[in-house]
Chain A
Amino acid sequence: MSAIPLDLDNTLERPGERAPLVLGKSDLASITEQVCEIAERPRPSREWWLAFGTSASLTFVLFAMLGYLFWTGLGVWGINQPVAWGFAIINFVFWVGIGHAGTLISAILFLFRQKWRTSINRFAEAMTIFAVICAGLFPAIHVGRPWFEYWLAPLPNQMQMWPNFRSPLLWDVFAVSTYFTVSLMFWYMGMVPDLATLRDRARSKIRQIAYGIAALGWRGSGRHWHRYERAYLLLAALATPLVLSVHSVVSFDFAVSQLPGWHATIFPPYFVAGAIFSGFAMVLTLLIPVRHIFRLESLITPRHLDNMAKIILATGSMVGYSYIIEFFIAWYSGNPYESFTFLNRALGPYAWSYWIMFTCNAIIPQLLWFKRLRQTPGLLLVISIFVNIGMWFERFVIVVTSLSRDFLPSSWGVYWPTWVDLLTFLGSFGLFFTLFLLFLRFLPIVAMAEVKSVVPAAGLELGPHRGHGQYWGEIPHQHDEENER
């Protein structure tokens, strides 16, 4: 078996050739070893403990804030009349947006046979689950009387009272809960073969039992694989429309209302693009350090980063286009309220937030046109963080600037978050990272079974085939370069 050099530039496109998706001396065993080892370390590193301690503390802060909120009332937040939605809804949309990358990578890229997804899909799906958990938290806590929240569910009851099916908030309930369920199933099902690997390698009884239960009796038989592939395909087909629908429905929360700045038909595509944009940015933000820390450069190659950066560039440009076209439509519609809302966004009291959003989302990602930047993980990390910031501010701009100045100037107001708002938002990051660190600690963070299908070694003994393992013998361009020297 020949090794593909770790520093091979696999981002090049060569006609008739497929770029290798796994670099270095990887074979089936080494991939198993490499991934399982992370979850099998006897004790986590000091850094993990530090990170876990911090995020667990922040999670505690989150729950303390929720306790305070439930005890005192929504007044502890900065919301008011007219800005009746604030951080809670901003954070909700922010986290739901982030939760888009996972399913997109797992489902849509799967259906499009984008094999490069295999190294990152587990990771992205996990992030999706955790982000959707954080997202789901906010609508649940933002209502005035959370103890009656179950009224939003269409439960038969003695009042013979159904929820109002005309309300986008109800659609939200369905959309987000469906999305969460399908994402969870998808993630878990895809993990079953890998959990079985962990089970098989487990040394301690506890691990054997825990992974054994989680692996659902997976034995890796042909029939298992057959059923597994079928189910995976079906779930992918089921999840694909959800990727588009969830954020469309979230955007309906705004688009269906008649508030200037919210009431816009562009919102569904604009929100979906923004969600993918922010989701990929968050994947990059998490992946780049993890890849470095756990030495996964051979599995998560520059080509992966490059591809993700390209998606960020594409969706970022769509988002930027939306920002600009919104202004055009505001002017073209001749609707004075809408025109003012957009002028007010760019020049009014919250202009700073608009320009943070515009810079982070529409300008900074344009740097990704440069290939060199796409291949510099450090810079990519910085850009992805900017995108995260920008996308949070996008939701801030949409929610706050539109509400603070609507139709009647007499009811115009201002909104400022309180310390409870800020700590709750920070706490949601704590929850997210706590879950994420637990994932890093106990679960296979790369989909081993899937990656194995794209290592060169996978096809060696089978003769030529169309898979990604086509590289044998010498690596032509690699060789050429060496000869030139």
Chain B
Amino acid sequence: MRRRQDLSRGEGSRGSGGSSLGKQYWRSLEELAASPAFQQRIQQEFPELADELIKPTTRRSILKVMAASLALAGLTACRWPKERIMPFAYRPEGYVPGVPQHFATALELGGASLGVLVKSYDGRPIKVEGNPAHPSSLGAATAWAQAAVLELYDPERSTTLVRREGGQRRVPTWDDFLALAAEQATLLRADKGAGFAVLAEATSSPTVLALRNELQEQFPRVLWVEYEPVSRDLERAGLARAFGGLVRPRLHLERARVIVGLESDFLFGHPEGLRHARHWGAARSGEGDAMPRLYAAEALLTVTGAASDHRLALPARHMGALLRQLAHELARGGLALPAGWGAAAFDAGSPESRFAALAARDLLQARQQGLVVVGPSQPPEVHVLAAALNEALGTVGTTVTYLPDPEPTRRSHLEGISQLATALADGAVRTLWILGGNPAWDAPAELDFARLLAACPQTVHLSIYDNETSQLCRWHLPRAHGLEMWGDARAWDGTVSVVQPLIEPLYGGRTPAEVLAALLGEPALSAHDLTRRTFARLWGGEEERWRLALSEGVVANSAWAPVRPRLNLEAVIAAAAGLQVPPDGGRELNLHADACLYDGRFANNGWLQELPDPITTLTWDNAATFGPEDARELKVRHGDVVRLSAGGRSVEAPVLVVPGQARGVVGLALGYGREAGGRVAAGAGVNAYRVRTATAPWVVGGVQVERTGRRRPLATAQDHHVIDTLGMAERGRRVGSLIREASLPEYRANPEFARNTAWAKASPLWKEIEFKGEHQWGMAIDLSACIGCGACTIACQAENNIPVVGKKQVANGREMHWIRVDRYFAGDPADPEVRFQPMPCQHCENAPCESVCPVAATVHSEEGLNQMVYNRCVGTRYCSNNCPYKVRRFNFFNNFKSVSATTRLAFNPEVTVRGRGVMEKCTFCIQRIEAAKISAKNERRPLRDGEIVPACAQTCPTRAIVFGDLRDPDSEVSRLHRHPRAYGILEELFTKPRTLYLAKLTNPAAPAGEGGASS
């Protein structure tokens, strides 16, 4: 080959006229003729290569394209500084083809980072796992972070730059953009940046912040605005008022004994939700005296509310009054509070005052181990009073600490976007660069941002999708995905992580830092250079330190030191005075970030669309949620479309009745109803941003509900249909034996309450199977710890190549998740208790599925695994019928037929992709078991306990799932199987499940008038 190339070069140089380009190669006659039609086709088919292809082709350029394709083929482990990636001549140290490698990086969401470890096969990231060294992760990862892999390989990501002008859509190159940036920089220099604005996503990246500072220094008149539709700015504002300075609160649930949460979903919908969940899970399953007690008052049922011991369903607008009532009760109980903080806002004997009295009694006992926490949707005044109560209880320093705000000069997101909108409307901004985000779609409705954006003469949008905003901008730039980029980010507590790429940008996307650098006249600097520069400036330029940061995923000791702000007493009194039960203003609409799609940015992610909402199990849609009584009153049922209108704005959404929702409250998740979200997002849900304004971003009062008479079927993963009374009654009867629970005192009195001994006495009529394997695998799931967040479902989906089936199939009960989280309600529908039960294959020793398979496609391994042999399966589905847990999943169609070649890169090569007509189910992650066994064997050592972690257990934020060897009596799982709380479900069928559940412990307070807290 080389000889030929040399020859050809020789010929070329000798060729006609001594062309400096060398010999011309062509692929077709059209190309040779360079007809306009051909050029157009090239533009359409290979927009990013258009330049290379249309220009006269040289041998050199062909080699360049080939090199790039090789790079894209991904024979690299990681994107290292050299940006041209060629096949290895020498194997890099420590890299074995086909053996996965883990790289530490961080993913940013809403201005806070989550440290992750990404598993990569031959340069192909396939799985995001939590980074145990990262303070916000502690080894777990959110569903969002885990689904980043699917987003990375989304074939609908933006692949090219786009220039839209006068209805024309053209595909420019990065060089064109750099030219634009240079031109823009000259303009900026002329008048110090007047008329220029940057609208950025919230980011914690020191590099971006440094570049921003540089930009603002160079061009002081540049308007820099940050906007996130889901932000904690109301809390920020409240704390600013309470303390007279901006601080960021950090919760320490590990030290909390009594937590009172008002409209706060701190276990799930918080940047540090994973950390909170971890501490919560540890404390709740620990059974010690330190078991925390949680009081939750909330309008909508949330994961945190479901985990609480006392829950009060209360409209969000009443939270201030409830907090004041709490202050009143605390003062009555002997806490020295200044006058004016507390006031009796509710009648004595009302549920609110009883709730407040109980919570106050416990808080007074717990004192500095108490915690009052208010959710981000509450107005600043409530946060002021909560901060004051924490101060008065002495919790500051134990259960809550304050960190300095990373950007004290930043206006709140809503103020920022409003200011920008005004400037756009006035014509004060003529050039707008948008770094990330989707403001045309998710900005407050009254700003009419989309129109303003369309009218702005020069707009640039950097985004991983060509989304609603991009389509209104003159320029769209493809953004490097979080797994493709160099960068840095800070966790909620300030810990710095270096973001390192796992793969060369698939579509040549660039990072916000690179775009800013281009504007600042440093277009040659890559994201790596920029990151490295910031790193050197802040943490030192030693190579070792940089390498350590990359391999650990965190920069040691980079967290902010806590500060001790002083409470402004007058501000508290002023704020408290305004906290009253609002005069009845009709129903309130509670907008909230979606548990699956967040603010809508993940709308084109099939895993997240199909992930059942933890509470409603709804998939592929958002819905107007109503409590059962409201639904009865309004005469609406599941799927009826209602029009919600407030302040001249309205949205039509299907009804979903959710037990435990406060009366007079309608809930609606943000993030659905995308207009240009992609094929996956299309048709999923309704756009709640239409009724969201800057003045009422979360809670909209005075909402009118009208029936439209239309229906929209909803696909829930559970209760696929509305259940009849008979079924409901039976379900109620069964839940008690499926999810066994006791309060802490009951458990102490009878530790073995959950044991079901009746079946154990029965001796089998036949000779039982002996399991002779060296290991006997088993699992234990602690229901005390589980909060039902669903992270395990996504982890399993990513690990095991589980297909996405779509709304129609979910509605038909054909979802494929190997581990589902069963959710049950108990008690009064208006004030239910919620119970979660993760349900993977139980790996029964007496597996009912095995005996009925006519072709022996499901059999037991010597190590006690119930194995599914896909190749042997003919698909009679008898196994599924005979499985009492209904954990088997059948491929009704070829679920991978429409999966694009790009998305196929996300597949785990260790796990077979199942074809049509085949049954599948949880394997206990057998590929991980085998991998660990092989490495133990290679290293000539016994397997260690905890070495094998299935995907679900690995990512479980609360560490509720434990896997291990039951033959080893000292293993964690053996210990848990011997635990008095351990029980198997449906054991009476003699299935002998290898998965045991640890009964749930609750910690309710003794009724008022009796004893005190848990001790």
Q: How far is the CB of B180 from chain A (nearest CB, A)?
A: 50
- Taking a contact as CB atoms under 8 Å apart, the answer to whether B730 and A340 are in contact is yes
- Taking a contact as CB atoms under 8 Å apart, the answer to whether A74 and B917 are in contact is yes
- Taking a contact as CB atoms under 8 Å apart, the answer to whether B873 and A408 are in contact is no
How many residues of A are in contact with the other chain, CB < 8 A? 54
A104-112, A205-213, A411-419: which lies at the B interface? A411-419
B571 within 8 Å of A (CB atoms): no
B851 within 8 Å of A (CB atoms): yes
A407 to B815, CA, bound (A): 19
- Taking a contact as CB atoms under 8 Å apart, the answer to whether A409 and B876 are in contact is no
A129 to B620, CA, bound (A): 49
Which residues of A have CB within 8 Å of B759?
Answer: none
Q: How far is the CB of B914 from chain A (nearest CB, A)?
A: 10
A168 to B824, CA, bound (A): 35
Which residues of B have CB within 8 Å of A79?
Answer: 877, 892
* A164-B917 contact, Cβ under 8 Å, with A75-B814, A85-B877, A169-B876: no
Q: Which of A83, A85, A258 has the most CB of B within 10 A?
A: A258
Q: How far is the CB of A165 from chain B (nearest CB, A)?
A: 9
* A144-B881 contact, Cβ under 8 Å, with A74-B892, A409-B730: no
Residue of A nearest to B879 (CB): A84
Which residues of A have CB within 8 Å of B856?
Answer: 161-164
B726 within 8 Å of A (CB atoms): yes
Residue of B nearest to A86 (CB): B877
- Taking a contact as CB atoms under 8 Å apart, the answer to whether A257 and B881 are in contact is yes
- Taking a contact as CB atoms under 8 Å apart, the answer to whether B878 and A167 are in contact is yes
Q: What per-residue 1/0 map shows which CB atoms of A336-368 lie under 8 Å from chain B?
A: 100010011001110000000000000000000
A151 to B874, CA, bound (A): 8
Which residues of B have CB within 8 Å of A411?
Answer: 718, 822, 885-886
* A413-B873 contact, Cβ under 8 Å, with A75-B893, A257-B852: no
Which of B853, B919, B986 is A167 in contact with, Cβ under 8 Å? B853
Q: How far is the CB of B539 from chain A (nearest CB, A)?
A: 50
Which residues of B have CB within 8 Å of A256?
Answer: 851-852
Q: How far is the CB of A401 from chain B (nearest CB, A)?
A: 11
Q: What per-residue 1/0 map shows which CB atoms of B832-864 lie under 8 Å from chain A?
A: 000001010000000010011111100000000
B989 within 8 Å of A (CB atoms): yes
Which of B731, B809, B855, B894 is A151 in contact with, Cβ under 8 Å? B855
A5 within 8 Å of B (CB atoms): no
Q: Which of B820, B824, B851, B874 has the most CB of A within 10 A?
A: B874
A145 within 8 Å of B (CB atoms): yes
Which residues of A have CB within 8 Å of B730?
Answer: 340, 344, 405, 409
* A414-B721 contact, Cβ under 8 Å, with A144-B918, A408-B886: yes
A259 to B849, CA, bound (A): 11
Which residues of A have CB within 8 Å of B824?
Answer: 409-410
- Taking a contact as CB atoms under 8 Å apart, the answer to whether B823 and A81 are in contact is no
B136 within 8 Å of A (CB atoms): no
Q: How far is the CB of A266 from chain B (nearest CB, A)?
A: 19
- Taking a contact as CB atoms under 8 Å apart, the answer to whether A410 and B839 are in contact is yes
A73 to B896, CA, bound (A): 13
Which of A73, A145, A151, A408 is B738 in contact with, Cβ under 8 Å? A408
Which of B724, B726, B809 is A75 in contact with, Cβ under 8 Å? B809
Q: How far is the CB of B304 from chain A (nearest CB, A)?
A: 22
* A348-B918 contact, Cβ under 8 Å, with A81-B814, A144-B890, A408-B738: no
Which of A82, A164, A406 is B851 in contact with, Cβ under 8 Å? A164
A370 within 8 Å of B (CB atoms): no
Which residues of A have CB within 8 Å of B738?
Answer: 408
Which of B812, B815, B916 is A73 in contact with, Cβ under 8 Å? B916
- Taking a contact as CB atoms under 8 Å apart, the answer to whether A347 and B877 are in contact is no
Q: How far is the CB of B639 from chain A (nearest CB, A)?
A: 14
Residue of A nearest to B724 (CB): A349
Which of B724, B727, B837, B853 is A164 in contact with, Cβ under 8 Å? B853
- Taking a contact as CB atoms under 8 Å apart, the answer to whether B735 and A409 are in contact is yes
* A81-B876 contact, Cβ under 8 Å, with A144-B916, A403-B881: no
- Taking a contact as CB atoms under 8 Å apart, the answer to whether B874 and A148 are in contact is yes
Which residues of B have CB within 8 Å of A152?
Answer: 854-855, 874
- Taking a contact as CB atoms under 8 Å apart, the answer to whether A80 and B814 are in contact is yes
- Taking a contact as CB atoms under 8 Å apart, the answer to whether B989 and A81 are in contact is no
Q: Which of A297-352 contact B (CB under 8 A)?
A: 336, 340, 343-344, 347-349
- Taking a contact as CB atoms under 8 Å apart, the answer to whether B839 and A408 are in contact is yes
B884 within 8 Å of A (CB atoms): yes
- Taking a contact as CB atoms under 8 Å apart, the answer to whether B892 and A259 are in contact is no
Which of A73, A340, A347, A410 is B917 in contact with, Cβ under 8 Å? A73
Q: What per-residue 1/0 map shows which CB atoms of A167-199 lie under 8 Å from chain B?
A: 111100100000000000000000000000000
B649 within 8 Å of A (CB atoms): no
B55 within 8 Å of A (CB atoms): no
Q: How far is the CB of A26 from chain B (nearest CB, A)?
A: 51
B547 within 8 Å of A (CB atoms): no
A466 within 8 Å of B (CB atoms): no
B875 within 8 Å of A (CB atoms): yes
Q: How far is the CB of A195 from chain B (nearest CB, A)?
A: 38
* A143-B886 contact, Cβ under 8 Å, with A74-B917, A85-B881: no
A405 to B734, CA, bound (A): 12
Which residues of B have CB within 8 Å of A45?
Answer: none
Which of B718, B815, B882 is A258 in contact with, Cβ under 8 Å? B882
Which residues of B have CB within 8 Å of A258?
Answer: 848, 882, 884, 989
Q: What per-residue 1/0 map shows which CB atoms of B806-826 lie under 8 Å from chain A?
A: 000100111100001011100
- Taking a contact as CB atoms under 8 Å apart, the answer to whether B874 and A145 are in contact is yes
- Taking a contact as CB atoms under 8 Å apart, the answer to whether A408 and B877 are in contact is no
A229 within 8 Å of B (CB atoms): no
* A81-B854 contact, Cβ under 8 Å, with A74-B917, A409-B824: no
- Taking a contact as CB atoms under 8 Å apart, the answer to whether B872 and A347 are in contact is no
Residue of B nearest to A256 (CB): B852
- Taking a contact as CB atoms under 8 Å apart, the answer to whether B885 and A408 are in contact is yes
Which residues of B have CB within 8 Å of A164?
Answer: 851, 853-856
- Taking a contact as CB atoms under 8 Å apart, the answer to whether A170 and B854 are in contact is yes
Q: How far is the CB of A338 from chain B (nearest CB, A)?
A: 12
Which residues of B have CB within 8 Å of A163?
Answer: 854-856
- Taking a contact as CB atoms under 8 Å apart, the answer to whether A80 and B848 are in contact is no
Residue of B nearest to A142 (CB): B876
B720 within 8 Å of A (CB atoms): yes
A168 to B861, CA, bound (A): 22
- Taking a contact as CB atoms under 8 Å apart, the answer to whether A405 and B851 are in contact is no
Which of A161, A344, A406, A413 is B720 in contact with, Cβ under 8 Å? A413
Q: What per-residue 1/0 map shows which CB atoms of B219-258 lie under 8 Å from chain A?
A: 0000000000000000000000000000000000000000
A166 within 8 Å of B (CB atoms): yes
- Taking a contact as CB atoms under 8 Å apart, the answer to whether B822 and A80 are in contact is no
Which of B735, B822, B852 is A169 in contact with, Cβ under 8 Å? B852
A149 within 8 Å of B (CB atoms): yes
Residue of B nearest to A343 (CB): B726
B619 within 8 Å of A (CB atoms): no
Q: How far is the CB of A290 from chain B (nearest CB, A)?
A: 37
- Taking a contact as CB atoms under 8 Å apart, the answer to whether B876 and A168 are in contact is no
Q: What per-residue 1/0 map shows which CB atoms of B140-158 lie under 8 Å from chain A?
A: 0000000000000000000
Which residues of A have CB within 8 Å of B735?
Answer: 409
- Taking a contact as CB atoms under 8 Å apart, the answer to whether A167 and B886 are in contact is no
A144 to B727, CA, bound (A): 31
Which residues of B have CB within 8 Å of A142?
Answer: 876
A316 to B985, CA, bound (A): 40
Which residues of A have CB within 8 Å of B815?
Answer: 81
Known A73-B892, A82-B813, A143-B917; further 4 A-B contacts with Cβ < 8 A: A72-B893, A75-B892, A169-B853, A409-B731
**B residues near A, CB below 8 A?**
718-721, 723-724, 726-727, 730-731, 733-735, 738, 809, 812-815, 820, 822-824, 837, 839, 848, 851-856, 872-878, 880-882, 884-886, 888-894, 915-919, 985-986, 989
A-B residue pairs in contact (CB < 8 Å), sample of 17: A81-B886, A82-B886, A85-B881, A144-B876, A144-B877, A163-B854, A167-B878, A169-B854, A169-B876, A173-B854, A340-B730, A407-B884, A407-B986, A407-B989, A409-B734, A412-B731, A414-B720
Which 5 A-B pairs rank lowest in CB-CB distance, beginning with the nearest?
A: A144-B875, A144-B917, A75-B892, A410-B822, A411-B886
